[in-house]
Chains A and B, each alone.
Chain A
Amino acid sequence: MSDHQSSSQRPDLDENINVTEAHANLNQVSAAAKREQEVLDPGSDSFPIGVMLVCGVVLMIAGAVLGKGGKFLGYNDLVKPDYVRAEAPGGMEEVATSGPVLAIYNRQGGKIYAAKCAGCHQPDGKGDGANFPPLAASEWVTGDSEALAMAILNGVKGKITVAGRDWNSMMPAQSDGLSPKDLAALMTYLRNNMGNAVGDVISPEMAENAMATSQARGGGQVTESELLSNHNKMISGAEFTLETIVDLESFEPVEQSAE
């Protein structure tokens, strides 16, 4: 029947339609296709109110969320403007941001000592008895701070008398990667621990001045005679008392707040 173009305009009997044959054809067509309904023209009911209400509510929720999003198409804002980290739920105790200078410097200095110095001078500062002089009760450590700083920053070569005994070894320079904060902490630690009790604090500013002096010197390890002649003084700079409160990050004094 598909080859008769006119049959669509004349659904009724055409001369050359064999009804029996057509019906037989139709019965071979799947019964399922035969019994299918037509898809009718859709209804023209108007927009149901309930759906409109739900859509309105959803739009409001979405709008509220969008409002929190900040500037639309703001490609340079990685964080919401005025973002403040929310209070931790469950409440953690206040993390301290400052503390007494000696405790903080000792802690940092102890870490640096363990990393850089304890290998030779031993964790207790007593040296190994043969090659590396002790730091405990050493006049170089407890004496002039500039001599100590020069020794640390540049290393030592040649003979040196420590605690009544001669030592003739070589100490490499330790200034690589040492910041003024670290140097100040290390020197404070050396002067106030392991049996030493000088009772003073080397401030970061003093450490900076010492580093400048060391730079100006030109490099190479110091000798005992150089230490005795050129560096037998205390480094100049801001002086901290043992009661100073310093910030944990910057190692500088903070304003005393009423706690």
Chain B
Amino acid sequence: MATDTNLSNEQDAIIRAEVDRSLRHPVMFFFTSGAVWLAISIFFGMIASIKQHDPDFGLLPDFFKDSSLFAVGRAYAAHMNVLLYGWGAQAAFGVMIWLMARLTRQPSRNSGVILTAGHLWNLAIAVGLIGICTGKGTGVSWMEFPTCVWPVLLLSYVLIAVWSLVQFQVRDGSRTFISQWYLMAAMLWFPWVFLSSHLFVFVFEGHPLMTAGVNAWFKATLVFLFFIPVAVGAAYYLTPKVTGRAIYSYKLAIFGFWALAVIGPWAGMQKLAGAPIPHFLPYMGMVAMILFMIPAITVGVNILVTMKKAPEVLPYSPTLRFVAAGSILLVVLGAIGIALNTPNGLRETQFSIAGYGYEILAIYGVFSMIIFGAIYFIVPRITVREWLSSRFINWHFWLSVYGVVTIVFCSIFGGFLQGEAQEAFDKPWMDAATRGYAYTLGTTIAWHFIFVSNLVFLLHLLLMWMRLGRRSQHPTLLHSHHAESPHGGEGFVDNA
């Protein structure tokens, strides 16, 4: 946006509006259907979490206990896969295509194709979910959709993302902004990781250990090379946009990008520590997980210091609040990565609930929080309406933060305790299994919080989708500004 200073501010506004208008259908579709899938995923997550500590579902009728739909294997698989591909991927695509269009200052010419591909993606996810729930899942972690689904997902992705690559090629000007680096990289990394992993796991005949290794690699690189870069790219755009300040240190940003690019692909094999694979592989995975702290802290420092330069905007902007939370949790993710992947830490937590906590922190705590911030920024622009209720936004934010922090704390702490109990192998294993009871219970309660927060978000988003948002020139902010509004006081109805 800073490339061509000849254009007036009004020209900029018109270009922005054109870009937003051209992408309104696909982006809104991605966000809305993503939010629906998120709610479904959290529902299954609650079921799976309840099963961890209360397999008989307590007071609920026997139908729940005996039903194979709610067996942990199916509920957990449904939860993770819908979270990743139904919510995560779609939200990422929405932000990605909008941001690439904005940054290259070009309206999209292929919104129809993108929208169709989005519907195809949704259809594939629905088929995959039904497949998992009826027992046809593949059993491979994070790849549990039946094998007919992933080629459709890949095809849809190509039809969604290739237009952004084209936009980048024909853009005006040669300078690029840091967000474009992250987004371009994510756009290429995702099909590389997705396609090669699925080929080696499902298509090529290989040693079963290789399948396990590739699967473990996929789980780490999907997060590090797709979700995290998209979120960080969005954060690097939104922060200067909303605060009006420049990014604190561009050198730091470029360094962080290259650090992620170099470190990210090595991660993953630490999940197979102790397996009969060459033993340097788990160590490389551990090192990469530890080194992830480097890009994490560069991004965190950059974003948060930039925000601190604009304290007058920070308390009021929902976008900034979500992005700030996501950035703080990114640094926490790096720190927890170190704790879990030292040799002692790994020995204790490898077979415990701590791994789940780390994954949820990455996907929900970091990626989803930043993307929520992006959604709160983008949707008013493409629907030309403002959000209806800052109270809804507040609830969404605080319940999500409480929820994810509780999950992370319970899982990590409980994981260490579980692992310690498992290491004492002269005691019965039930001791270790029951040691985690309180922590899985805490996780379930936290998922309930997150479920409520996402129902609120879904409702809010659906109202915006139905064009019921506020018609206003003033944005919906988190604290009431109305006392200073030039249009006078608000009256006795409190819309805060």
Contacts and interface: CB of A to CB of B under 8 A. Distances in A.
A120 to B, nearest CB: 42
Interface in B239-268: 240-253, 255
B23 interface: no
Contact of B280 (A2, A31, A50, A72): A72
A41 B277 CA distance: 48
Nearest to B378: A32
Contact of A75 (B4, B178, B278, B475): B278
A9 B237 CA distance: 27
Interface in A1-30: 1-2, 7-9, 11, 22, 25-26, 29-30
Interface stretch (A63-71, A153-161, A219-227): A63-71
B301 A26 contact: no
Interface of B: 1-2, 4, 6-14, 16-18, 20, 177-178, 237, 240-253, 255, 276-280, 283-284, 286-287, 290-291, 293-294, 297-298, 301, 338, 341-343, 380-381, 384, 386, 423-427, 472-475
B280 A65 contact: no
Contacts of A48: 249, 252, 301
Given A8-B7, A74-B280, A89-B423, A32 B475 contact: yes
Nearest to B18: A2
27 contacts: A8-B6, A11-B11, A22-B10, A32-B381, A32-B386, A35-B473, A36-B13, A38-B12, A39-B241, A40-B240, A40-B246, A42-B240, A43-B246, A46-B251, A48-B252, A48-B301, A50-B301, A51-B297, A58-B290, A62-B290, A65-B287, A69-B279, A69-B287, A71-B280, A74-B280, A75-B278, A90-B427
B280 A37 contact: no
A11 B249 contact: no
Instruction: List the 3 shortest-distance A-B pairs measured between CB atoms, nearest first.
Output: A69-B283, A42-B250, A29-B17
Nearest to A55: B294
B14 A58 contact: no
Interface SS of chain A:
loop
A33 B301 contact: no
A54 interface: yes
A30 B247 contact: no
Nearest to B346: A65
A30 B2 contact: no
A61 B339 CA distance: 11
A3 to B, nearest CB: 12
A240 B424 CA distance: 42
Contacts of A71: 280
Contact of A43 (B13, B248, B384): B248
Given A37-B241, A39-B240, A55-B294, A31 B473 contact: yes
Given A25-B14, A33-B17, A46-B251, A66 B297 contact: no
Dominant secondary structure of chain B at its interface with chain A: helix
Interface string A67-104: 01111111111111000000011101000000000000
A119 B416 CA distance: 53
A9 to B, nearest CB: 6
A8 B11 contact: yes
Contacts of A70: 279-280, 283
Given A30-B381, A71-B280, A61 B290 contact: yes
Contacts of A46: 249, 251
B276 to A, nearest CB: 6
B426 A90 contact: yes
Interface residues of A, number: 56
Contacts of B342: 61, 65
B301 A39 contact: no
Given A43-B247, A76-B278, A65 B426 contact: no
Given A31-B472, A69-B284, A74-B278, 17 more contacts: A1-B14, A30-B20, A31-B473, A32-B384, A37-B241, A38-B9, A40-B240, A40-B246, A43-B246, A45-B249, A47-B255, A48-B252, A55-B298, A76-B278, A78-B277, A78-B279, A88-B425
Contacts of B6: 8-9, 11
A101 to B, nearest CB: 31
A34 interface: yes
B8 A11 contact: yes
A50 to B, nearest CB: 7
Contacts of B20: 30, 33
B1 A55 contact: no
A26 B287 CA distance: 54
B345 to A, nearest CB: 10
B244 A54 contact: no
Given A32-B384, A65-B287, A89-B423, A51 B298 contact: yes
B340 to A, nearest CB: 12
B252 A39 contact: no
A194 interface: no
A44 B251 contact: yes
Contact of A61 (B278, B338, B381): B338
A38 B1 contact: yes
A228 interface: no
A77 B14 CA distance: 62
A32 B252 contact: no
Contacts of A30: 17, 20, 380-381, 384
Contact of B237 (A39, A66, A72): A39
Contacts of B426: 88, 90, 92
Interface string A202-222: 000000000000000000000
